A and B are shown apart, each in its own frame.
Chain A
Amino acid sequence: MSSWLDYTINGLIVGNVYALVAVGLALIFGVSRLINFAQGSIYLVGAYIGWVAVVQLHTPLPLTIIVVAVVAALVGLIIERFGLRPLQNSVRIAPLLATIGISFVLDQLVMLTFSPNPRALPSQLPDVRFQVGGGTIGPLDLLIAGVGISSALLLFVFLRYTKLGWAVRAASQDRDAAMQMGVDVNRVNQTVFGIAAALGGVSGLLVGMYYNQIDTAMSLQATLKGVVAEVVGGAGNVPGAVVGSMLLGLVESYGVAVFGTSYRNLFAFLLLVVVLVLRPNGLFASARQAPPEPLTGTFIAPSRPLRIPRWALAVAVAAFAILPLLPVSFYVLQTLINAWLLGMLALSLTLVAGTIGQVSLGHAALLAIGAYTSALLSLTLNVPVGLAIIAGGLMSAALGTILISPSFRLRGHYVSIATLAIGEIVSLVILNWESVTRGPIGISGIPPLSLFGYDLISPASVYWFAFAVMVVLALLQARLLGSHLGRSFRAIRDDDIAARAYGLSLNRYKSLAFIFGGFAAGLSGGIAAHLYSYINHETFNTQQSILALTVVILGGLGNIVGAIVGAVALVGIPEMFRIAAEYRILIYGIVLLLLVRFRPQGLLGTI
């Protein structure tokens, strides 16, 4: 039984680590209703500033903490002032995209400054260990716990008993009303970002010391786990975030205890989905709390979409169709094939995120389902590739809709977080269900694309195939949006209560959207599988989901042409900046930020 004590202690220790990030996320969400994807990057910056202080400047620990907190707070203030404040009167989704862009930029800056090699960040605390259960804990564990709990308490007191704290809460409940009462909302936002960033930086420092290791890949993981912990505790609820983190740590630890290490994250994300479905406001939401803000309607601001005349579209399609006949390099064709494949995914996402308002962050899972179905069918059952790809699309439509259906009752950001979790779950199931998916070994030797017995091998034929499938899907989707279905979808997006009052069955329409979207994404995944000939659980990862959402927002939510233009842009920009080598992702992030700044409703506007 002593093992259970150890598992409990270990769960609490790692929960401790999550709490530091979760508290910062909760604070920002509480005030600006924004999932700050840059929080993990501030954490990263904090860790590296700490490294400079400790290893180069040999500062003592209290001074190190102060230095890190001050620098991180400054970074937070800069983000708030130049990244987010200019967007406060634009579409609600723009800041979300901006934080993604900022995180790209910060991560790349750190990587370019410090090289991507991991570094040791030695702890400055005396190396004494206390025996607890079968294992030991060190002073750093206690310090992390102390910082986590005391910052949560301090914040709680600050929010409840100080004037600025009241202002913060007032602004979080109703920004306009707060402004009318004379609250300086900008100052509130600044305060919150400064505090959250300082906390994020210090947590990066402490966690880096805890593992004696910092590297540039730590940012996304920190954000993911922090978001899970925060939502479990109730988004925007600071003490809830601490408890949620502990719970997450415990669930992971017990999951490892019962099923083994490779199931660890599966439990983290299952916990999240279960909590979201049973208690959508988090475990500790009070009954009086206002329901989570319907992001739809306010989230997706009406804008005047750019109308592109039909003849121009026809000319563009014709131009792209004859492109392989012109003397263009295979490299350009291959890049465009990638763009068409991403375009299919974006069509799918722009339908579910833009038209019906279910902003999904787990869309890569649909690709994976389509890809695995098609690959396995053609390899093990010798199904012709063309049919296998269609089967992949159907499987993705069916399985995707079933998996996502528990999140139909959720709204706004919660949909995004639930779909993020579902995406991770699918990827982990692929990793662990070895008898079917071959686990980490992946599937190799997938037959190339073929149609009616003819192999499509030359880049031109693959190009035409992918392009044709995408155009057909786009036309179908345009037809769909023009029909009463499309109007119902948009009605649900703009006001689900009114839509329901008119007798629209929300779940049924959401299912329909996911079925169509799942099919398009599944086709894209299936084609990719046959194009690559090898896939494993890493081929379709979270970065793909984030990329897809970026494409869709960039193109204009719900906008079919926009989705395709966005796909071409986001595949093309990193390729265009190849000449910049290591700097290209930095440039990509900056371009993204500029686009969000000057065209927040998307290039072609929301439909």
Chain B
Amino acid sequence: MSNINRRTLVKGSLAMMAGAAFSRAAFADADPILLGVSGPLTGPNAQYGTQWKQGFDLALDEITAAGGINGRKLAYTFEDSQSDPRQSVAIAQKFVSDPRIVLELGDFSSPASMAASPIYQRGGLVQFGFTNSHPDFTKGGDFMWSTSVSQADEQPLLARYAVKSLGLKKLAVLHLNTDWGRTSRDYFNNAAKEYGAEIVVTEGYIAEERDFRSTLVRVRDANPDGLVLISYYSDGALIARQARQVGLKQVICAASSVYSPKFLELGGDAVEDVHVGTRYFPEDKRPEVQNFIAGFKKKYNGQEPDAFNAYAYDAMNMAAAVIRIGGTDRKAIRDAFAKVKDVPSVIFGTATFDVATRRIKGAMNAELVVRNGKFALWDGKPT
């Protein structure tokens, strides 16, 4: 050891530094194309941020395996906003002033996303909100694009399932009292009425609510023949459980947002026979669905993907498709959103933006039911 004197050490480290500098220079062109993600990793909505990550990472693996984007890697930097508008606006400024970022994804909640919209719009960076169903989100400007399934599209499908397929005539609607839940409820109620059903009671509940027994007594007294849940999986499971506990035996139909293995885990026996209108299902023959599910299970130890995983996965693939056309110029990327055609998508089959609304129409539809603790394609038999 004593043979190694200071000079050799210096020489060695100099050589190493030179090597590092060289390797950086050689791959300078291969710096990844960077996307900014603003979303919750801590705070009350943290679970959704972690689901996004899973979907993103899977999509990125596939994109990299397919040679990246014109030979360059695609990558993202995830900034935690806690879904708080105060933090999402700061993140927006950070992304806008970071020249490496070519496109932004997120945020999760409407207050956080739409508070940041003016900054993205003025900064000329596309805000690609893939879970933003608020009807005014894309009205923030021509840099706001969304692949979130429009509730104007989705809810009539659920209404058709409940009223036409299942033959329910008197519906009780329970919805999350958020911008998403309210918008969805209105679309659902209108569609259900058009199909000839009657809405006998609607109840909005706040996201933190856990006890629904008294709400369900109200529902019981309205004497419906079916319950419709415009809920996320955790509250949807709670309602289903408590509905059975207070003795409601009616058919339950739920929006696609409950489509998650967690819904089955949290709901247990109580979610058996719950009908769910979804955008894809495991036995779907479409290659993009099979790819997604197989890849997801492989990457995450057999875990089943859920709706939010799928949204994130689709969003990352869409971002890649857009960048393939638009390159890395922010404005060209915005223009590319109008140009992408028929991007393979789990949710939409193939996705093409409607340039007027900056959203995508025509989500896929599958009518599922929970049988033996699993989501299965509904066989047309009444429950």
Chain A interfacial positions (CB closer than 8 Å to B): 3, 6-7, 10-11, 13-14, 17, 108, 111, 115-120, 122, 129, 131, 134-138, 211-213, 215-218, 221, 252-253, 256-257, 260-262, 264-265, 329-331, 333-335, 338, 341-342, 431, 439-442, 444-445, 448, 457, 459, 531-536, 538-539, 543, 571, 574-575, 578, 581-582, 584-585
Across the interface, name the chain B residue whose C-beta is closest to A221: B208
Residues of chain A contacted by B114 (CB below 8 angstroms): 444, 532-534
Interface residues of B in 130-148 (CB under 8 A from A): 134, 136, 139-140
Other contacts beyond A329-B97, A532-B118: 15, CB < 8 A: A6-B214, A6-B246, A10-B214, A14-B213, A213-B238, A260-B203, A265-B206, A331-B94, A342-B86, A441-B179, A534-B111, A571-B86, A578-B79, A581-B78, A581-B80
Q: Is the interface of A mostly helix, strand, loop or mixed?
A: helix
B117 within 8 A of A: yes
Q: A338-B90, A442-B179 are in contact. Are A116 and B214 (CB under 8 A)?
A: no
| Contacting pair A331 B262 (CB below 8 A) | no
| Contacting pair B41 A13 (CB below 8 A) | no
Interface string of B40-82 (1 = CB under 8 A from A): 0111101101110000000000000000000000000011101
Question: Least Cβ distance of B105 to chain A in Å?
Answer: 16
Interface string of B197-223 (1 = CB under 8 A from A): 000000111101111111101101100
B381 within 8 A of A: no
B106 within 8 A of A: no
- Can you give 23 A-B contacts (C-beta < 8 A)? A3-B220, A6-B246, A7-B217, A11-B214, A116-B49, A118-B234, A134-B217, A216-B46, A252-B214, A261-B205, A262-B203, A330-B96, A334-B90, A338-B90, A440-B178, A441-B179, A444-B114, A445-B139, A457-B122, A532-B111, A534-B111, A535-B115, A538-B111
Assembly CA distance A385 to B247 (angstroms): 54
| Contacting pair B111 A444 (CB below 8 A) | no
Assembly CA distance A581 to B41 (angstroms): 8
Question: Least Cβ distance of A425 to chain B in Å?
Answer: 14
- Residue from A14, A256, A341, A440 in contact with B182 in the complex, judged by beta carbons closer than 8 Å: A440
Residues of chain B contacted by A585 (CB below 8 angstroms): 42-43, 82
- Residue from A117, A135, A439 in contact with B47 in the complex, judged by beta carbons closer than 8 Å: A117
Across the interface, name the chain B residue whose C-beta is closest to A134: B247
Which 7 residue pairs of A and B lie closest in terms of their CB atoms, listed nearest first?
Answer: A532-B115, A534-B114, A116-B46, A135-B246, A331-B94, A334-B93, A10-B213
| Contacting pair B214 A212 (CB below 8 A) | no
Across the interface, name the chain B residue whose C-beta is closest to A5: B217
Across the interface, name the chain A residue whose C-beta is closest to B43: A585
Residues of chain A contacted by B174 (CB below 8 angstroms): 261
Q: Interface size on B (CB < 8 Å)? A: 72
Assembly CA distance A257 to B209 (angstroms): 16
- Residue from B44, B93, B183, B262 in contact with A333 in the complex, judged by beta carbons closer than 8 Å: B93
B152 within 8 A of A: no
Interface residues of B in 289-334 (CB under 8 A from A): none
- Residue from A120, A217, A257, A571 in contact with B214 in the complex, judged by beta carbons closer than 8 Å: A257
B266 within 8 A of A: yes
Residues of chain A contacted by B183 (CB below 8 angstroms): 441
Across the interface, name the chain B residue whose C-beta is closest to A342: B86
Residues of chain A contacted by B79 (CB below 8 angstroms): 578
Question: Least Cβ distance of B108 to chain A in Å?
Answer: 12
| Contacting pair B44 A217 (CB below 8 A) | yes
| Contacting pair A262 B177 (CB below 8 A) | yes
B170 within 8 A of A: no
Across the interface, name the chain B residue whose C-beta is closest to A541: B84
Interface residues of B in 326-375 (CB under 8 A from A): none
B268 within 8 A of A: yes
Assembly CA distance A137 to B246 (angstroms): 8
Q: A117-B262, A120-B268, A532-B89 are in contact. Are A440 and B139 (CB under 8 A)?
A: no
B85 within 8 A of A: yes
Interface residues of B in 232-253 (CB under 8 A from A): 234, 237-238, 241, 245-247
Residues of chain B contacted by A129 (CB below 8 angstroms): 245
Question: Least Cβ distance of A218 to chain B in Å?
Answer: 8
B109 within 8 A of A: yes
Assembly CA distance A533 to B111 (angstroms): 9
B31 within 8 A of A: no
Assembly CA distance A334 to B79 (angstroms): 15
B151 within 8 A of A: no
| Contacting pair B215 A256 (CB below 8 A) | yes
Assembly CA distance A24 to B149 (angstroms): 45
Question: Least Cβ distance of A373 to chain B in Å?
Answer: 18
Q: A441-B183, A442-B110 are in contact. Are A534 and B89 (CB under 8 A)?
A: no
- Residue from A119, A215, A329 in contact with B94 in the complex, judged by beta carbons closer than 8 Å: A329
Assembly CA distance A534 to B139 (angstroms): 12
Q: A135-B247, A440-B178 are in contact. Are A582 and B266 (CB under 8 A)?
A: no
Residues of chain A contacted by B97 (CB below 8 angstroms): 329-331
Residues of chain B contacted by A212 (CB below 8 angstroms): 237, 241, 266-268
Residues of chain B contacted by A17 (CB below 8 angstroms): 211
Residues of chain B contacted by A574 (CB below 8 angstroms): 87
- Residue from A117, A445, A457, A534 in contact with B50 in the complex, judged by beta carbons closer than 8 Å: A117
Assembly CA distance A30 to B258 (angstroms): 43
Residues of chain A contacted by B209 (CB below 8 angstroms): 261, 264
Assembly CA distance A184 to B214 (angstroms): 47
Question: Least Cβ distance of A518 to chain B in Å?
Answer: 21
Across the interface, name the chain B residue whose C-beta is closest to A580: B80
Residues of chain A contacted by B238 (CB below 8 angstroms): 211, 213
Residues of chain A contacted by B44 (CB below 8 angstroms): 217
Question: Least Cβ distance of A104 to chain B in Å?
Answer: 10
- Residue from B86, B94, B136, B205 in contact with A262 in the complex, judged by beta carbons closer than 8 Å: B205
- Residue from A6, A532, A581 in contact with B85 in the complex, judged by beta carbons closer than 8 Å: A532
| Contacting pair A260 B218 (CB below 8 A) | yes
Across the interface, name the chain A residue whose C-beta is closest to B109: A538
Question: Least Cβ distance of A312 to chain B in Å?
Answer: 28
- Residue from A3, A257, A334 in contact with B89 in the complex, judged by beta carbons closer than 8 Å: A334
| Contacting pair B140 A533 (CB below 8 A) | yes
| Contacting pair B213 A459 (CB below 8 A) | no
B194 within 8 A of A: no
Question: Least Cβ distance of A208 to chain B in Å?
Answer: 10
Assembly CA distance A262 to B221 (angstroms): 17
| Contacting pair B136 A116 (CB below 8 A) | no
B283 within 8 A of A: no
| Contacting pair B215 A261 (CB below 8 A) | yes
- Residue from B111, B122, B218 in contact with A442 in the complex, judged by beta carbons closer than 8 Å: B111
| Contacting pair A431 B177 (CB below 8 A) | yes
Q: A216-B46, A532-B85 are in contact. Are A261 and B203 (CB under 8 A)?
A: yes
- Residue from A262, A331, A342 in contact with B93 in the complex, judged by beta carbons closer than 8 Å: A331
